[in-house]
Amino acid sequence: MLKKINIQFLFSYFGLIPYAVILLDKYFFLIINEEVSSNFIIYYSLIIIVFIGSINWNLKDNLPTHIVVYGFLPSFFSVIIIILNLYDISVFIIFFLIILLLLTQLFFDYIIIFSNESNKGAFYFLRFPLTILISVFLLLILF
């Protein structure tokens, strides 16, 4: 049974737990300070965005320049979002930018990475649903 479970998929879906905890706290428990939970979700989402970007890097191979730049862009945009957050830009704007970044990254991942692959299972069963779920969690936490 354990051999049939893809551990990478399982750990990826476990990454939704912090969103669920913050969402439950926001609507039911009210234990975590709202500013702390917003900042946590912002930084946690940025970690995910940067991680997704770095997945495309393979340090053993000489990658095409556009893949290297594409893998770097999420880190660059994450730094911009961190700076905006440190300057107390509206949480609404920051969450909107994160959702936009996630969805843009999803679109370009399909175009650049997955469109030429014959097995798109990782995209359809992991990348797409997780991005949509994270975006929904962010919207629910925001409102």
| CA atoms of 40 and 49, how far apart (whole Å) | 14
Q: How do residues 96-105 score in pLDDT, each as one tens digit?
A: 999 999 999 9
Q: What is the pLDDT of residue 2?
A: 54
What are the helix (H) ranges across 25-142?
34-55, 65-86, 91-108, 121-122, 128-142
| CA atoms of 58 and 95, how far apart (whole Å) | 30
Q: What is the pLDDT of residue 60?
A: 63
Tell me which residue of 49, 58, 39, 56 sits closest to 15, measured CA to CA.
49
Q: How do residues 93-140 score in pLDDT, each as one tens digit?
A: 999 999 999 999 999 999 988 888 888 888 999 999 999 999 999 999
Q: What is the pLDDT of residue 113?
A: 85
Rounded to two decimals, the pTM is 0.89
Q: Is the sign of the CA dihedral 32, 35, 39, 45 positive or negative?
A: positive
Q: How do residues 53-95 score in pLDDT, each as one tens digit?
A: 888 776 667 888 888 888 899 999 999 999 999 999 999 999 9
| CA atoms of 37 and 48, how far apart (whole Å) | 16
Residue 133, token pair as written in the block = 């779920």
